Structure 1
Amino acid sequence: MSAQSDHTDGVAAVGMGHGTRSRRGTCAAALLAAALTVSLTAGCTGHGRDGDRAPDRTPAPGHSLAAAGAPLAVKIDNLPAARPQSGLEEADVVYAEQVEGGLSRLMAVYATRLPKTVGPVRSARESDLELLRQFDRPTLAFSGARHALLPLIGRAPLRAEPPDAAPDAYYRDTGRAAPHNLYLRPAELLPTAPGGGALTTGFRYGPAPAGGTPTASRTVRYPAARFTFTWSPGPGSWLVAMDGTPTVTARGARVAAATVVVQYVRVRDSEYHDVLGSRTPYTETVGSGKAQVLRDGRAFAATWSRPAAGGGTTFTAADGSPLSFATGQVWVVFAPAP
């Protein structure tokens, strides 16, 4: 697949060849990077289908999901020009993170079902590698990455599948302008959905805890992006809006989450930067901190904990008891800790 400019990534991005599938340490990653001859160039100048609600994907109430299989994680464009995205509503978990220029990007994780298409697909970031270590060798679909980041991706415990490693899995939508037109066919990477056991996030699912504050809506703001979640009693879910616009599927249905997590984390500068010199934010997801969990029309104060990169994230209510999520899609928005 030929390279195209990635105008809003803010990093010089390149793909990873078939050799990426052999993880043999730093030497192999370095040889891979040296062998690459095509790069995707990015700037920091833009602002940026199928089905409605995901099926039951949780175990018995009060139990965590056990490790089994490897999920698919896809980096998804979140600029206005990229909307409506495809396949977003079928993800089990959607992570929202801050990127260059105060904009946002999404990481959608699929385990219980695979949509026909997902996209637009965009480039990977360093902090994605830490986030994905909670899964058992997940498949990561992304458009490319900064050349200096390739050795880290090569050493990460994941299966990297950018376009040049899996050309049959990607296509360009001629009805959209680049770089917002790269789409993934998940079935080309995974023959079947691995199942809910692959979601080794540490999340617990079960009945709502006592207490909480009745909440009609909640907004999380980045410097140049915002997410709003509005409770809808009818479907019993939080309707998603981004940058003040309702988030819809390609068929016009609203994207909705059963549970929304506002997770306060440290967001620092990474060593990487865009072509204008702006540093790429690094979102730290290992550690602990405050959080707010939205479910069943209420907001619950919580504490999150992920002591090691290889483990999932647990959430504890104010009284010290485990905080369970509602059955259905989970949105986790990483917000800078105050």
Structure 2
Amino acid sequence: MPTSGTKRSAAAVLAALTLVITAACGSSGGGGSSPATASAPRADVLAVKIDNVAAARPPTGLEKADIVYVEQVEAGLSRILAAYSSDVPSVIGPVRSARETDLELLRQFDEPMLAYSGAQSALRPSIEAAPVDALPPSKAPHAYFRGGDRAAPHNLYLRPGDIPHAATGVNAAEDLGLRFAAPPRGGTPVSGRTVSYPSARFTFTWSADGDQWLVSMDGTPARTASGDRLGAATVVLQDVDVQDSRFRDRGGNSSPFSATVGSGSAAVLRDGRSYDVMWERNTAESATGFTTEDGEPMTFATGQVWIVLVPR
């Protein structure tokens, strides 16, 4: 009588043969994977925290980001969290320190890499515990460099190719479930919208010629490092609760925390129109969904998406 070990060995051989036969039957003449077993490509997100005070402008590589998040930081100023996947430029910056808001935003992605210049000591345990691949200069000194065009701390730049981190061709916004398609019915024609923080201001002006919302910061047209205007195909003005966190900067200013788990209202700007929508994110692990007044998923114009976290 065969022993149990013999039975397991025979079963293993039979299973292996079954896999081989199945693979052979499912393969095409070109040697590709069967449509039933092929997995869809996923975004591999590189998130970079970018400085956004006047001394740090213009930014380098921001125009290549799939999603540009704008958030309020200490003293009412703003900073940017840029998410790259479909296209990754050779240089990105200037890079600055991370905030608690970044960690909650990035939970939407599948273990993204976070490039940042550092963080206050009280926040470091939260960064280490977060599901992100943290990449400060101390972990990859060869991938960062100081530029000579401006004074520190506004001159730290990242070379993604030295990490290395390559483009995937998959848009980070689509990976979150956002749909790029024709606009829904309705909407209100608008020529522009402005969002103000205590010490920062953003204006988005519709350009029919360029099919984009031109960005201005603090009353000045925002430009790329090459001199072109910064513009977005879609702008989301997302109303969020902003509260003081337990973290403070060296000047004693409280670090604001923008809560992006929950629900609320938002305005989506696309194609020269504004749409009133609702946003919802039930858990930190889930992605933010945007729905129209009819309860249908909001669609976005093809191109870069800016999501501005607006204190309500």
TM-score of the two chains, using structure 1 as the length reference: 0.79
Counterpart in the other structure of 2:45: 71
- Which residue does the alignment assign to 1:246? 221
**How do 1:265-284 and structure 2 match up within 5 A?**
265-284=240-259
- Is the alpha carbon distance of 1:198 and 1:232 closer, same or farther for their aligned partners in structure 2, counting shifts above 3 Å? closer
Letter of the 1:317 partner, please give it. T
Q: Is the 8 A contact 2:67 2:172 kept in 1?
A: no
Query: Which residue in the other structure is 1:84 paired with?
Result: 58
* Equivalent residues of 1:203, 1:312 under 8 A apart: no
Determine the C-alpha separation between the residues in 2 that align with 1:67 and 1:80.
38
SS in structure 2 of the partner of residue 145 of structure 1: coil
Q: Contact conserved, 2:68 with 2:80, CA < 8 A, in 1? A: yes
How far 1:286 moved relative to its partner?
0.6
Q: Which residue matches 2:277?
A: 302
The offset of 1:69, in angstroms, is 4.0
How far apart, in 1, do the equivalents of 2:170 and 2:189 lie? 30
1:264 aligned partner: 239
**Please, which moves more after superposition, 312-321 or 192-201?**
192-201
Match of 1:104 in 2: 78
Correspondence list, 1:308-323, <5 A: 308-323=283-298
Q: Distance in 1 between matches of 2:101 and 2:310?
A: 14
Query: Match of 1:123?
Result: 97
Pick closer, same or farther for the CA change 1:194–1:325 going to 2, 3 Å. Answer: same
Instruction: Report the equivalent of 1:158.
Output: 132
SS class of match (1:128): helix
Write the letter of the residue equivalent to 1:106.
Answer: I
Separation (CA, whole Å) in 2 of partners of 1:81 and 1:190: 29
Among candidates 151, 157, 171, match of residue 145 of structure 2: 171
Aligned-partner SS, 2:299: coil
In 1, are the aligned partners of 2:72 and 2:256 still within 8 Å (CA)? yes
2:83–2:172 contact (8 Å) kept in structure 1: no
Gaps of 5+ in 1: 1-65
Report which structure shows greater RCO (CA 8 Å, sep ≥6): 1
The one-letter code matched in structure 2 to 1:159 is D
- 1:257-296 Cα distance to aligned partner (Å, 9 max, x none): 0000000000011100122322100010111000000000
Aligned to 1:227: 202
> Where do 1:284-299 residues align within 5 Å?
284-299=259-274
Match of 2:160 among 169, 186, 198: 186
**Structure 2 CA distance for aligned equivalents of residues 194 and 95 of structure 1:** 20
Mean CA deviation greater in 191-200 or 175-184: 191-200
1:206-233 per-residue CA deviation (whole Å, 9 max, x = no partner) reads 1001110000010000000011000000
Q: 1:138 is matched with which residue: 109, 112, 115?
A: 112
Partners in 2 of 1:205 and 1:287 — Cα distance?
24
Give the superposition deviation at 1:194.
Answer: 2.6
Counterpart-to-counterpart distance in 2, 1:201 and 1:131: 12
**CA RMSD, Structure 1 to Structure 2 (Å):** 1.2
Summarize the Cα distance change of 1:198–1:93 in structure 2 as closer, same or farther, 3 Å threshold. closer
* Alpha-carbon spacing, 1:287–1:202, altered in 2? closer, same or farther (3 Å): farther
Give the whole-Å Cα distance in 1 for the aligned partners of 2:75 and 2:229. 27
Deviation at residue 197 of structure 1 after TM alignment: 5.5
Deviations 1:43-99 (A, max 9, x none): xxxxxxxxxxxxxxxxxxxxxxx7724210000000011011000111010000000
Secondary structure of the equivalent of 2:300? Answer: coil
Question: Equivalents in 2 of 1:277, 1:252: separation in Å?
Answer: 36
Report the Cα distance in structure 2 between the residues aligned to 1:80 and 1:271, rounded to whole angstroms. Answer: 27
Which residue of structure 2 lines up, in the alignment, with residue 3 of structure 1? none
CA contact (8 A) 2:45 2:109 kept: yes
- AA paired with 1:269? D
- Inter-partner Cα distance in structure 2 for 1:117 and 1:197: 19
Q: CA deviation at 1:251?
A: 1.6
1:174 Cα deviation (Å)?
1.7
Distance (whole Å) between structure 1 residues aligned to residue 64 and residue 176 of structure 2: 17
Provide, for residues 147-194 of structure 1, a one-character-per-residue CA deviation record: whole Å limited to 9, x for no partner.
Answer: 111111111111000001000110001221011000000112234213
- The question of whether the paired residues in 1 share the 8 Å contact of 2:43 and 2:86 is answered with no
Q: Distance in 2 between matches of 1:228 and 1:90?
A: 20
2:280 is paired with a residue of what secondary structure? strand
Task: Say if 1:305 and 1:67 are closer, same or farther in 2 by CA, change over 3 A.
Answer: farther
CA contact (8 A) 1:67 1:136 kept: no
Instruction: Using the TM superposition, give the Cα deviation of residue 317 of structure 1 relative to its aligned residue in structure 2, in angstroms.
Output: 0.7
Q: Measure the CA separation in 2 of the matches of 1:249 and 1:198.
A: 21
